[in-house]
Amino acid sequence: MRIEIHAEGITLDRVARSRIEQELRGALGHYAARITSATVYVRDTNGPRGGPGQQCRIVVNLLRSSRIVVSGMDTDVPPLIKCTAERAGYAVRRHFNRRRSGMRRDKVHAIS
């Protein structure tokens, strides 16, 4: 799984980028063989005004051209990344569980 990190209006040092990658690998690791790439977009929407202006969007590209997009907002980047990565992991898990249960239903109908 290839991970790209893009920041706009926020400076992310090597440690922050490593932490983001670690959070994402932890959340998506179980499905890494089925994921071609994940792109993290972090940006400051409020600039110097403060407030919940940190935005994170994670785009997960799955095999067979499926795409899952999850986003969130917070005042600080580390909890924002953690929460958004967990939501991305949940969305990917839900996607594959739905596909698996749909395939089982098809098999049952085909036997009947």
Residue 106, CB-side half-sphere exposure with 13 Å CA sphere: 6
Q: Which residue has the higher pLDDT, 106 or 35?
A: 35
Which run of H or of E encompasses 103? Answer: helix 77-111
Residue 28: partners with Cβ closer than 8 Å, 6 or more residues away: 1, 35, 38, 60, 85, 88, 89, 92
Asked if residue 108 has pLDDT above 60, the reply is: no
Of the pLDDT bands very low, low, confident and very high (cuts 50, 70, 90), residue 111 is very low
Q: Which pLDDT does position 106 carry in this prediction?
A: 46
**Chain segment 17-44, per-residue pLDDT in tens:** 999 999 999 999 999 999 999 999 999 8
**CB-based contact 16:77 (threshold 8 Å):** yes
48-96 pLDDT per residue, tens: 666 668 999 999 999 987 899 999 998 888 999 999 999 999 999 999 8
Secondary structure E strands in 1-112: 2-8, 35-44, 54-62, 67-74
Domains of the chain as residue ranges with CATH: 2-111 (3.30.160.100)
3-state SS record for 25-41:
HHHHHHHHHHEEEEEEE
CA distance 7 to 35: 22
pLDDT of residue 50: 60
* CB distance 52 to 76 below 8 Å: no
Q: Provide the whole-model pTM.
A: 0.83
Q: What residues pair up with 69 in beta bridges, in sequence order?
A: 59
